[in-house]
Amino acid sequence: MRYEDINNLRLRKVTADDSEFAYQTKKTAFREYVEKVWGWDEDEQRQLHERRFASQDFYVIQVSGIDVGILAIVWQTDCVKVNQMFIVPEYQSKGIGAACIRHIIEDAAVSKLPVHLQVLKVNSRAVVFYQRMGFRSTGESDTHVLMERLP
């Protein structure tokens, strides 16, 4: 069963108690890509997480009451930015990320806002995923592909 076909998907605003889950989810889902670009420095990654967790709107992605991922988004006056979306590996490729992104696209469209994000170039799987979701490349940095989905 694909999770996108059920109505048990929920985004729950994080509490301070969710910080470790958010960090471990990022680590298990994203570490291999960080290692390819910069190398994984545990202390540096922990500090980066703590700064972001304190300053961004984080949500725990739940399916049937089970925490399966994290999402960090920022609503700006000119766009909605998806800063992070990580799904626990055993729940990947089940439509959960697609359902979350569709929800963000729909919410942004109500306000006639584009959705912006960036993806590490070495994460070709994510680039293809976002292209399937209607995002197009708008540029790149040394490490990232910049992407946008118009309303």
pLDDT digits (tens, 9 = 90+) for 31-84: 999 989 899 999 999 999 999 999 899 999 999 889 999 999 999 999 999 999
User: What DSSP character marks residue 95?
Assistant: S
Report the sign of the C-alpha dihedral through residues 115, 121, 126, 130, in that order. Answer: positive
Q: Are 87 and 97 in contact (CB under 8 A)?
A: yes
Residue 80: partners with Cβ closer than 8 Å, 6 or more residues away: 73, 74, 104, 107, 108, 113, 114, 115, 116
CA 38-42-48 angle, to 5 degrees, is 75
**pLDDT greater than 80 at residue 97:** yes
In this prediction the pTM is: 0.89
The predicted structure's pLDDT at residue 78: 96
What CA–CA distance (Å, rounded) separates 34 from 105?
Answer: 27
Confidence of residue 9 (pLDDT cuts 50, 70, 90): confident
pLDDT band at 6 (very low <50, low <70, confident <90, very high): low
Q: Is 141 helix (H, G, I), strand (E, B) or coil?
A: coil
> How confident is residue 1, by pLDDT bands cut at 50, 70 and 90?
very low
When pLDDT is averaged across residues 108-118 and rounded to a whole number, the result is 97
| Domain architecture of the chain: domains with CATH | 3-149 (3.40.630.30)
The predicted pLDDT at position 27 comes to: 95
Which two three-digit tokens encode residue 11?
């985004």
Cα–Cα dist 61/118, whole Å: 20
- Other C-beta atoms closer than 10 Å to the C-beta of 79 total 18
